[in-house]
Amino acid sequence: MKQKKYLIFILAGLCVLFLGNALYASQEKQKVYIIPVSGTVEPGMAAYVKRALEEIKNETDAVFVFKMDTFGGRVDAALDIVDVISNVPKGKTIAFVEKRAISAGALIALSSNLLFMKENTIIGDCAPIINTQEGQKMAGEKVQTVLRAKFRALAKKNNYPVVLAESMVTVDMEVYQVVMDGKKSFMKKKAYDDLTKDEKKKITAKKTIVAKGELLTMDDAEAVDFGFSQKSVKDINEVLSLLGYESIDIITIEESWSESIVRFLQPFLPILMLIGIGAIYTEIKAPGFGIPGIVGITCLGLVFFSQYLVGLADHTELLILLVGILLLGVEVFVLPGFGVAGISGLLIIAAGLVLSFQGFVIPDPSLPWEGALLMKNLAHVLGSFMFAFLISLFMMRFILPQLSKIMKGPYLEATLSHSHVDTTTALAVKPGDTGIAHTFLRPAGKVMINKKKIDAITRGEFIDRGTSVLVDKIEQNRVIVKPKTS
């Protein structure tokens, strides 16, 4: 009897435990994570989406909704986002087009398992555009081929119409909607032309969906009719209700402050780079170290670390940049004039900046946009160097000398413009004296004459250190020397 009582007691306890778990499970809310995909598609957006999914990758029962509102952007950034979304377990991702998903935005939207569109929204037109000297034009067949393959793969994975998905990126594709044996399907013109006469007789209706020379762009109603969107809805809550999520906990993952700053800085990176390089060059030409050096390092630091935060730059680019700055420091503080160390430093900084703007070193031939991106980055960096050089010369020639007139005094009314010290008397140097080049003269430097170290300049030629020199002329207190000939 005691054994039966114990058995009944254990069974009763198990029933209570089971009912408690079932009740708790019924009360637990379904987690729904909203990830906004808005604005220009660029590396900052890719870093944000990657970070957002990385934080919640262990949420096995969660649903991820990508709220779309974008006109598109960079192909490489879009493909990075697509790869991240595609790695989420099947049945977990939903694209919700709140306003528009154009170009790269359409590619991102089709990477989700389900697509819903708000009323009066649009999707499509993924035209790969490149900038040329003649303006914007359609990218070549190499780029289109890769994108077509990506659209086909996503359509097959998520059960979207493959032909129509491909027509979003193929401008010369003509697509028909045909009804054959009572079934509606979409067919390329080439496939239709290849049908036999008997097969064409079975077609009871034919309609052109995408004309040649156009790219597929759909509103919400057309997307439903063509088999992309599940339904046109009023908001996200209606989407979740249609999917059977009654008790939900909606969590919106916003951009972090650093991601917001990076995305804000992206359009201004060329300007920051221009200012930074110009300030560095001005610092090299000016004595000591001051405001231009601080401004230059700050601007280039913002450029580099913004790229570091989006994952394009890493420790390699940082090391390259530091080596370049170190060489410039050697040129400023150790070596006179501007020579090999300065030029090498600028070239190394340029290489570091180019690499920090892209996620590769050598372009992959199978990804044609990488070559175009490399050329674009080279143009940005080298163009910034050229304009920075010209602007720096203008500043040193016209702006800086005028600052003393703008800055408040007090100043002495009398000037020392007509006062001078006779070099011949003060330094006991006269034409015809000989000495040794104490430093490299390029063309300015120092010479040792009569056991005195004197600032000197040549008439344009470079003189190596240790070369015998002859005082050619003393002009306006400048000692002009030339190589001594035996």
pLDDT band at residue 156 using 50, 70 and 90 as cut-offs: very high
Average pLDDT, the chain: 79
In angstroms, the CA 449 to CA 438 distance is: 9
CA–CA separation, 219 and 227 (whole Å): 12
Residue 415 above 60 pLDDT?
A: no
10 Å CB burial of residue 415 (0-12, 13-18, 19+) is exposed
Q: Which residues of 259-295 are buried (b: 16+ CB within 10 A; e: fewer)?
A: bebbbebbeebbebbbbbbbbbbbbbeeeeeeebbeb
Asked if residue 113 lies in contact with residue 91, where contact means CB atoms within 8 angstroms, the answer is yes
Q: CA-CA distance, 115 to 224, in Å (whole number)?
A: 9
- The string of pLDDT tens digits covering residues 193-247 is 888 888 888 888 899 999 988 899 999 999 999 999 999 999 999 999 998 887 7
Q: What is the pLDDT of residue 26?
A: 41
Task: Tally Cβ neighbours within 10 Å of residue 253.
Answer: 17
pLDDT confidence bin for 153, thresholds 50/70/90: very high
How far apart are the C-alpha atoms of 179 and 167, rounded to whole Å? Answer: 19
**In contact, 65 and 32? CB cutoff 8 Å:** yes
Sorted by sequence, the CB contacts under 8 Å of residue 435 that are 6+ apart come out as: 447, 448, 449, 450, 454, 468, 469, 471, 481
DSSP assignments along 434-481, one per residue: EEEESS-BSSEEEEEETTEEEEEE-SS--B-TT-EEEEEEEETTEEEE
Nearest to 350 by CA among 276, 259, 419, 433: 276
Distance CA 98, CA 238 (A): 13
Least confident of 94-108, 289-303, 406-420, 431-445: 406-420
Q: How far apart (Å, rounded) are the C-alpha atoms in residues 17 and 13? A: 6
Cα–Cα distance for residue pair 326/328, rounded to 1 Å = 5
- Nearest-angstrom CA–CA distance, 181 and 3: 71
State the pLDDT confidence band at 400, using cuts at 50, 70 and 90.
low
Q: Which amino acid is at 435?
A: G
User: pLDDT-based confidence at 21, cuts 50/70/90?
Assistant: very low
Most confident of 219-223, 394-398, 471-475, 481-485: 219-223
Q: Identify the weakest region by mean pLDDT among 90-104, 280-294, 316-330, 405-419.
A: 405-419
**What is the reported pLDDT for 294?**
82
Distance separating alpha carbons of residues 287 and 281, to the nearest angstrom = 12
Please report which confidence band the pLDDT of residue 267 belongs to, taking 50, 70 and 90 as the band edges. confident
Q: pLDDT at position 107, please?
A: 93
pLDDT of residue 217: 92
- Highest mean pLDDT: which of 48-57, 118-127, 273-282, 289-298? 118-127
Distance in angstroms between the alpha carbons of the first and the last residue of the chain: 128
Over 90: is that where the pLDDT of 352 sits? no
pLDDT tens per residue across span 33-77 = 999 999 889 888 888 898 888 888 777 788 999 999 999 888 888
How would you list the strands of the sheet with 203-210, edge to edge? 183-188, 175-180, 203-210
Least confident piece of the model among 15-19, 20-24, 304-308, 357-361: 20-24
Contacts of 61 (CB under 8 A, 6+ apart): 30, 31
87: nearest Cα among 54, 62, 65: 54
| Total count of residues recorded for the chain | 486
Using CA atoms, how far residue 227 sits from 3, 70, 119, 127, 289, in Å, is 64, 22, 16, 21, 65
- pLDDT higher at 8 or 432: 432
Instruction: Choose from 348-362, 371-385, 443-457 the range with maximum mean pLDDT.
Output: 443-457
Q: Which has more confidence, 475 or 82?
A: 82
| pLDDT attached to residue 154 | 93
Neighbours of 226 (CB within 10 A): 19
The pLDDT value given to residue 119: 93
Distance between CA atoms of residues 110 and 129, nearest Å: 20
| pLDDT winner (highest mean) among 117-121, 418-422, 431-435 | 117-121
CA–CA gap between residue 183 and residue 178 (Å, rounded): 8
Q: Is 173 helix (H, G, I), strand (E, B) or coil?
A: coil
Q: pLDDT class for 16, splitting at 50, 70, 90?
A: very low
Both tokens of 336, joined, read: 């006179």
Q: What is the reported pLDDT for 256? A: 77
Q: Round to whole Å and give the CA distance between 166 and 39.
A: 24
Mean pLDDT of 391-400: 67
